[in-house]
Copies of this chain bind each other. A is one copy, B any other.
Amino acid sequence: MADCQQLKAQFATPSGVEEAAHRMADFAMHHKREGRRVVLITSGGTKVPLESRTVRFLDNFSSGRRGATSAEHFLDAGYAVIFLHRHRSLFPFSHRYASLNWLDALQLVPSEGPRQEEELPSGSCLRVEVVPKVVPGLVPLLQHYQLVKEAGTLLPVEFNTLSEYLHLLMAAAQALSPLGNSAMFYLAAAVSDFYIPASEMPEHKIQSSSGPLQITMKMVPKMLSPLVRDWAPQAFIISFKLETDPTIVIDRARQALGTYRHQVVVANILDTLRTHVILITQNSKTDLYLSEEEASCGKEIEEKIVNDLNARHTAFINQN
């Protein structure tokens, strides 16, 4: 666990990590008893501060859409899901209305029944209703969401900075270790490759009057290495490789697989994120496509990714 100690030393433990670690451990044990597989999904980009009293930071392009949509399909496939996501990134179910201002979807309606009045402050006689045509598809989606909440199969955990992400990933690996090979890691978050160590960071806001800005950033230690080797050696681990240049993505994915020796790399290109991914293993390469026709029916490529990985996970469990 040398890497782990080294990482912990470089990034002081942020507040809230311990409490989240307990919640993840309880969640994992509960679903182990219920006989469910558990997947940890990481989602969204990490924030890398440039100043210790942070005004400026480096960020990664990631709305969290891949992670949020995948979570829904993992839940449908029977997994319990720990959703480790960037604060305010897209969230399962509700992300479908991410561009909606909910106040535009609400109307005030005079209240009639006594049931409503009981819940309202005295004197008030209005209730608030959703205007159905402003939020198409809300009824079935809400039913779906409420079923998931009742089943208790979704545990959201939030991070903001790279440091919070690193600590929470370690805690999640520890929480999932009792599950052995029935745990899956689906590492869809866009984690920064670079950071500024706390010791080299200016305390105060960098002054623009000092002229052009020179930033030197260190490389973030690769978490995948200790994760595969030490923290979750029995688990089924999927990493993601996003590139903008299609000519290098496959090589970079194979390289990652060779270096870290985990199970699958999902390779994708920024321009075709939603319609094409390539699943790469030690001895296979599988292209998944979403056709225009499928897209127009509301089908999503994440459903295909999750179905494929679910089948591979089953084979992985049976082999071991």
Question: Residues of A at under 8 Å CB distance from B?
Answer: 47, 50-51, 53-61, 88, 91, 93-94, 97, 101-103, 106, 108, 119-121, 124, 126-133, 135, 138-139, 141-143, 145-146, 190, 192-194, 203-205, 208, 211-219, 242-245, 270-271
Collect the chain B residues with CB atoms within 8 Å of residue A47's CB.
59
Question: Min CB distance, A247 to chain B, in Å?
Answer: 10
Q: A142-B128, A243-B204 are in contact. Are A215 and B215 (CB under 8 A)?
A: yes
Closest 7 pairs (CB-CB, A-B): A193-B208, A128-B130, A53-B244, A213-B217, A215-B215, A194-B213, A204-B245
Q: How many copies does the complex hold?
A: 2
User: Which residue of chain B is the closest to A101 with respect to CB atoms?
Assistant: B94
| Distance between Cα atoms of A193 and B60 in the complex (Å) | 19
Main secondary structure of the interface of A (DSSP, over half): mixed
Complex CA distance for A260 and B215, rounded to whole angstroms: 29
Q: Which of B97, B141, B270 contacts A55 (CB 8 A)?
A: B270
Distance A137 CA – B215 CA, assembled complex (angstroms) = 46
Chain B residues, Cβ within 8 Å of A245 = 204-205
Q: In the complex, which of the residues B102, B127, B214, B244 contacts A132, with contact meaning CB atoms closer than 8 Å?
A: B127
- In this complex, what residue of B is CB-closest to A97? B102
Q: A167 vs B124: C-alpha distance in the bound complex, in angstroms?
A: 46
By beta carbon, the residue of chain B nearest A87 is B99
